Chains A and B, each alone.
Chain A
Amino acid sequence: MSQIETFYEVMRSQGITRRSFMKYCSLTAAALGLGPAFVPKIAHAMETKPRTPVIWVHGLECTCCSESFIRSAHPLAKDVVLSMISLDYDDTLMAAAGHQAEAALEDTIQKYKGNYILAVEGNPPLNEDGMFCIVGGKPFVEQLRHAAKDAKAIISWGACASYGCVQAAKPNPTQATPVHKVITDKPIIKVPGCPPIAEVMTGVITYMLTFDRLPELDRQGRPKMFYSQRIHDKCYRRPHFDAGQFVEAWDDENAKKGYCLYKMGCKGPTTYNACSTVRWNEGVSFPIQSGHGCIGCSEDGFWDQGAFYDRVTDLTQFGVEANADQIGMAAAGVVGGGIALHAAVSALKSAQKKTQDKPASEEV
């Protein structure tokens, strides 16, 4: 394999100053919840380690993940990450076109064999030999398998790649299939959400590029640093839930007062994501703040759980803090087995951590 430059060299060649570089290291540490003591460590790693190449491919999708990503709150982090990605391959954002672009993909795979991260947006449809999503004359599923073969690890961006998303909704006409059901021999990090929050995307990819390892994952393969709490746990309308104050209709007084949206079908109690803490569009807001319930877009199968405006389950008797977790547990049972497992995470945290760390450190 040819000599790969370090992160720092890449940044310098992109015209990023030393000062900005140090700022980036601080931002990275902050975004990942690490203390200031980590800043020099991150800087040292980026100065000495060869950068990790990234290939970003698109299957059956709506491009909302890319749209979210380029709207990250930390322009510097986004620029750095983008500049590193753009050196390699991304067919939506890159400058080259057509066959040139296809050649660039092949070059990148060959040049960085076994050493690159494959970021997948969207998923492959398997019906009719994959003919519902053709990229460069071939079914996307072939491109995916080909690019995955020599990847070090895979990031499944968004609900499509992680779980299937709305395009896999009944009757799933194209048999849209999540990445982990097609690629079974590589470590896969799921970053679900429709789309995922920009800061979550940059946080995950920055962590992987900086530390050259997978972030700690939960049982479903999601990074714990962003997916270990329910929207409900940190929702600013939570006091209204606990007090039994609910919106009953879109136009009622309670809606104007900002009461809890649980009765309007909010899926916050069963949804693991960082919306209520990190928020959206550079920290401005999130769906519940706009008066509309959470639809649970980062959960497996959210698109086929009955109507979006139906209540999670009939749980009005639980109105107080002490039983909130039961709500989560009981409702999780409705949403799916995987989440029920997840709801038990806090109790099993230490035991699970071991099982999670092991495969991750072995495979990378």
Chain B
Amino acid sequence: MSERQLLVGPFNRVEGDLEIRLEVADGRVSAAYANSPLFRGFEMMLTGRDPRDALTITPRICGICSISQSAAAALALADASGAEMPEQGALAASLLHGVENLADHVTHFALFFMPDMARPAYAGRPWHARAVAEFTAQQGSVARALVEARARLFHIVGLLGGKWPHTLAIQPAGVTRTPDARDKVRIQTTLRAFRRVLEQQMFGAPLEEFVALETVAALDGWDRGAAGLFLEIAADLGLAAMGRGTGRYLSAGAYPMPEGRATRAGVWDAGEVRPFDPSEVVEDLSHAWMLGGAAHPSQGVTEPDEDMRDGAYSWCKAPRLDGRTVEVGALARQVVDGHPLALALATEAGVRARIAGRLLEIARTQIWLEDWAARLDPSARFMGTWEVPKDGAGVGLVEAARGTLGHWLSIGKGTIAGYQIVAPTTWNFSPRDADGVPGPVEAALVGAPVGAEETTPLSVQHIVRSFDPCMVCTVH
């Protein structure tokens, strides 16, 4: 029996820094410890400020999911103040947020996940030449086409939000910009162009055909576009069985609209869906360099342990739902929403399922965006009134590209008295809790094959990237 330890990291081509310590026995990972080595202390900075400042400060947690942060802050403030968005305001906010989520998924596929398939280590595989031609970092033809299309897609955020990253337009009672008829046409034209690129490069077919897939067998039969290339690679490398998660999924429901959220909220566990009760969230600090005890985010504090005590190994807190780990992200969202293909992949729960869940959501999000753009009514109200309460509390739950994002806010004497953020990657990349239960990624890594010569095992790269980590959000 051979045993060794590996330190994998820094991971490039992820947002922020990540380091993972692996214990390897007999060519497989036997234990994994995820360390988020970057701490900034946003929650501490927010305390004492004008509550509205959260709208400007929190997006700057992250340059890639900044609209998600801004949407969560706006919802938390709305919850605390009783503000409501007019229907059209909610529509515009969802358009802004949806564009960012869609772009993030495309970026993940083209720039973060697929370039690993172009590595020399895979030379000789039947698909390798195509992976090199299409996805070599910065040069692959498909990667370039998608990145360029993504930049053009962001024109929509430009039109509705002024700039991206760090858009300011979403407010608790609506959005600051009322699009005119010309804007609406431009948004629709931009979306049409993006659909063309998706259908040509990503799916090789109308999006609706991919959305109509219902079984794993049907997915296996998909051989068109970059999605087809991915599925061929997945079959060859056994990505379906690699990096299996717990099979417990959480979603707060994406895109709050007047008629309800566009996707269902809930917790999926072994085939059963139950309602998501935010009061069941507890952040455990036993293995984080944080002081204080386990607490619900509304009671939580952020006080870094500057001694970086032994036993702890990350700046990341360990959120648990009713005492258990849950996985969040595109797959989780689609499973909870009940899409047949996602449900078929829910127990497979590995690298392939996560990537396929993201592909499915790319197609569905594009279709939603087209629908919302068509419903824009330039003559309607996009903004209502609201006032910052002197005292109060609120929670803002949204679905970022990478999963459930929650902001818990309390206001006292007109300023922020407490602010706690639980980001998607906080859920997925959490360290162990007081019971020693590893976080979702730590658990998913156990069993990953490690070659005798490997120092940055490819299987570990694939598993970690299948979660699409956003490390700057994780600890914030």
Contact = CB atoms under 8 A, between A and B. Distances in A.
B426 interface: no
B154 interface: yes
A281 B155 contact: yes
B3 to A, nearest CB: 21
A63 B154 CA distance: 17
Contacts of B42: 166-167
A315 interface: no
A344 B291 CA distance: 49
Contacts of B148: 75
A303 B163 CA distance: 18
Interface stretch (A25-33, A65-73, A353-361): A65-73
Contacts of A127: 306
A82 B139 CA distance: 10
Contact of B57 (A63, A166, A306): A166
Nearest to A68: B165
Interface string B381-399: 1011100000000000000
A195 to B, nearest CB: 6
A3 to B, nearest CB: 24
Contacts of A285: 158-159, 161-163
B115 to A, nearest CB: 6
A133 B17 contact: yes
A19 interface: no
B154 A93 contact: no
Interface in B38-54: 38-42, 44-45, 48-50, 52-53
A132 B40 contact: yes
Contacts of A250: 171, 173-174, 176, 383, 385
**Interface hub of A63, A75, A176 (most chain B Cβ within 10 A):** A63
B169 to A, nearest CB: 5
A123 to B, nearest CB: 10
A249 interface: yes
Contact of A95 (B63, B137, B160, B383): B137
Contacts of A172: 45
A208 interface: no
Interface in A42-69: 58, 60-68
B74 to A, nearest CB: 12
B472 interface: yes
B136 interface: yes
Nearest to B151: A71
A126 interface: no
Given A83-B138, A309-B52, A94 B176 contact: no
A286 B455 contact: no
B456 interface: yes
Given A174-B39, A292-B168, A292-B176, A101 B472 contact: no
A165 B164 CA distance: 17
B113 to A, nearest CB: 13
A309 to B, nearest CB: 5
B12 interface: yes
Contact of B383 (A63, A99, A255, A286): A255
B12 A97 contact: yes
A61 B385 contact: no
A62 B176 contact: no
A67 B165 contact: yes
Interface string B165-192: 1111101011111100000000000000
Contact of A173 (B40, B152, B176, B384): B40
Contact of B11 (A98, A173, A289): A98
B45 A169 contact: yes
B56 A295 contact: yes
Contact of A256 (B8, B52, B173, B178): B178
B41 A173 contact: yes
B384 A101 contact: no
Contacts of A216: none
B377 interface: no
Interface in A168-203: 169-174, 176, 194-195
Interface string B297-340: 00000001010100000010000000000000000000000000
A172 B164 CA distance: 25
A101 B163 CA distance: 32
A198 to B, nearest CB: 9
A173 B52 CA distance: 21
B327 to A, nearest CB: 24
B10 A308 contact: no
Interface string B16-55: 1101000000000000000001111110110011101101
Interface stretch (A110-118, A134-142, A144-152, A332-340): A134-142
B171 A281 contact: no
Interface in A293-322: 295, 297, 303, 306-310
Nearest to A60: B40
B62 interface: yes
A290 interface: yes
B15 interface: yes
A100 interface: yes
Contacts of B162: 280, 285-292
A34 interface: no
Contacts of A169: 45, 57
A194 B163 CA distance: 11
Contact of A251 (B64, B383, B455, B472): B383
A220 interface: no
Interface in B52-85: 52-53, 55-57, 60-64, 66
A312 to B, nearest CB: 15
A284 interface: yes
Contacts of B472: 61-63
B211 interface: no
Contacts of B152: 282
Given A60-B38, A64-B64, A132-B39, 18 more contacts: A62-B64, A63-B472, A86-B138, A95-B13, A97-B13, A98-B10, A98-B12, A99-B456, A132-B38, A166-B57, A170-B45, A173-B41, A275-B163, A281-B151, A285-B161, A292-B162, A308-B50, A308-B52
7 smallest beta-carbon distances between A and B, as pairs: A64-B63, A290-B162, A173-B41, A284-B158, A281-B158, A307-B50, A95-B137
6 contacts: A132-B38, A169-B57, A171-B45, A173-B304, A250-B176, A250-B383
Interface of A: 58, 60-68, 70-71, 75, 82-83, 86, 91-102, 125, 127-128, 131-137, 165-167, 169-174, 176, 194-195, 249-251, 255-256, 275, 279-282, 284-292, 295, 297, 303, 306-310
